[in-house]
Structure 1
Amino acid sequence: MSGLDAFPGMGLDEVVAAADLQTRTDTKYLLSPERYRWFRDRLADSGDWACLDIGGRRRFSYESVYFDTPDLLTYRQHRQGRRRRFKVRTRLYADSGECAFEVKVKGARQDTVKERLPYAASDAAVITADAAAHLARTLWDAYGMRVPAGLEARLRTDYRRHTLVDPAAGVRITCDEDLRCVSESGAVESRPVSLVEVKSAKEGGAADRLLWSMGARPVPVSKYCLAVAVLAPGMHGNPWARALHECFPGVSRVRA
C-alpha cells in the first residue's frame, strides 16, 4: 500500500475522541509535495498514525468564508501581531454539506481557542442572528470586546484536506492542498504546495521533531491573510512574505 492507504482508517467520532483540540497549539509548515510525501510515509512506517476516513473517502473539500470589517480589522490585527485578535468564518464541508460558524480567539497563554456553532450551509455567506449572538458572547468572554460594526463576508478559500491522527499522543496533522482564494476583485490559485499543520496540546512532539530533522521550520501562515494580501490592493502581507512567495510566486490577479 502507498499514500494515504498505508494508514489504518479512523472514523470522525474516533478522531474527535482521540484529538478534540478546540484549545490547542498550531505549528505550520510549508512543504513541497515531494517532501510532504516523504514525511507522510515516515509517519505511516511508525505505525502510530491513522487517517480520517469517512465512507471510504480520505481527502475532503473545504470552503471557508471569512468575515471582516470594511477596513479589514481582523486582518490588520493579525498582521500587527495583536494579542487580542480574532477571526470569524464559516466552514463548509463540501463533500457532506455540513457547515459550522467558527470564532477563533487567542487564549491566556496565546493558544488558539475555537468556538463552533452548527450552521446551515445556505447561510454560509451571512451572519445569522444566532451566529451574531454566539460571536458577541465569545468576544466578550475572551476580551471584554464588543462586536465591531460592519462585519460581512469578504472572501472565500477553497482547498482539499486530509487528516492524520496519533490517538495515543492526542495529536492531529492536517495537510491542505489545491488552495484557491476568491473575492469580489478576483481569484488566484496556489502553485502545488502542502500546508502542514501540527495540532496538539503542546509543541515539540514526534511529528515536529521529524519535520525539523528534515530541515523544515515553522512558518507563519494564515489562509485568510494570504488571500487578503494577494487579492486586496494596497494590503501588505510582510509577516507572510515567505508563504506568499511559496504559494503565489509572481501571481497576478485574475477575474473571478
Structure 2
Amino acid sequence: MSTDAPRDPALEALPALSLEEINARAALVTRTCRKYLVPEEAVAGLFPPSRFGVLTIGGRTSFRYSSTYLDTPDLRCFRDHRQGRRLRYKVRVRTYEDTGTRMFEVKLKGARGITDKVRVEHDGAPDRLTPAARRFLDDSLVSYGIEPPDVLVASAVTDYRRATAVALSGEERVTVDTDLVGRRGGWSIAMRPGTALLEVKTRGGLTATERRLHSLGYREVAFTKYASTLAALEPGFRGNKWHRAMGDCLDHPVLERSAA
C-alpha cells in the first residue's frame, strides 16, 4: 500500500461512514480487543458491504497516525504489560498526521481484560506532558485505583497507516493497520510489506469477522505496537509472549541515518 494513498483499496467498496456515525453506532470506548496478523490481500474478503461501512473523512479511508508513548524512566508501563499485571495503563500522544490534530490518551486495563480509553486534546509537543495533560493523567489513574507516576518521558514512537471498518449493527469495529514502523533511540523496526494488523474491538464474544478469520486459519495473536517496538529495539529486552508474532511480522532493526 502506498504511504500517500488516501483510500484503502481493500475497503473502498464499503459504504462511507463519518466519524459521528461511527461513534453513534460503535464508539466502544470500553471494550475487549483482540488482534490478528493477516496478509493485506486477505482483508478485502472480511467485510461484506451489506454489513460493514468504512470511516471516510474528506474522501479518505486511509489515515496516517503517529503515536508517541510516554513511560517512566524504568519503563514501568512496559514491564507491567509484560508481566500481565491485572491493573495497568499506557500513555501516549496520538498525532493524526493528515490534520495535525493531537490527542493525549490513557489506556487502562482492568479486570476481565476490559480496556478503557480516555483522552483529551493535546496542545503541546508529542514527547512531553503539558500541565493540562498531567492533571488529566493523574485524575484518570486515581479514579482507576492506580498511583500516578512521578515522571514520564518519551519512550518510543510508532508510525502507521490505519483504516477502520465498522459493523452497521454496532457489534464490532475493526482497525486495519499497515506500514508500521517503531522507533526508539535512533533505531527503527518495520512491519514486513504486505502485512496487516487487525484489531477487533467489541463488547461481546467472538464477532462475525473473527469467525471468518478462524475459518481462514488465522488466530488471535499477542502483539502490541509499543511493547514489540521496545522488545525489538531495547538491548537486553526479550519479547516473551510477543516473540512469536514479532518474528512473523517484523523485519530486522535498522539504525536510522540521523543516528549514524
Q: How does the TM-score come out when normalised to structure 1?
A: 0.92
Partner of 1:19: 26
Partner of 1:222: 224
After the TM superposition, list the runs of 4 or more consecutive aligned residues in structure 1 that deviate by more than 4 angstroms.
none
**Compared with structure 1, are the counterparts of its residues 202 and 187 closer, same or farther at alpha carbon in structure 2 (3 Å cutoff)?**
same
Partner of 1:73: 76
Amino acid at match of 1:189: A
Partner of 1:139: 141
CA distance in 2, matches of 1:20, 1:151: 29
SS at match of 2:255: coil
SS at match of 1:140: helix
Amino acid at match of 1:63: S
| Structure 1: gaps (5+ residues) | none
CA distance in 1, matches of 2:210, 2:139: 34
- How far the C-alpha of 1:230 sits from its partner, in A, is 1.1
Q: 1:3 aligns with which of 6, 10, 13?
A: 10
1:105 paired to 2:113: no
Would you say how many aligned residue pairs link Structure 1 and Structure 2? Answer: 248
User: Percent of aligned pairs with the same residue?
Assistant: 40
Partner of 2:181: 180
Contact 1:185–1:232 (8 Å) recurs in 2 = no
- How far the C-alpha of 1:42 sits from its partner, in A, is 4.0
CA distance in 2, matches of 1:41, 1:210: 9
Q: How does the TM-score come out when normalised to structure 2?
A: 0.91
Deviating more after overlay: 171-180 vs 101-110: 101-110
Give the RMSD, CA atoms, in angstroms: 1.4
Provide Cα deviations, 1:21-72, integer angstroms capped at 9, x if missing partner. 1100101001122333xxx324225x10001100000100000000011211
The 5 A counterparts of 1:16-95 are 16-36=23-43, 40-44=44-48, 47-95=50-98
CA distance in 1, matches of 2:166, 2:15: 10
CA distance in 1, matches of 2:38, 2:10: 16
1:171 paired to 2:200: no
SS at match of 2:164: strand
Deviating more after overlay: 201-210 vs 153-162: 201-210
| Structure 2: gaps (5+ residues) | 1-8
- How far the C-alpha of 1:84 sits from its partner, in A, is 1.2
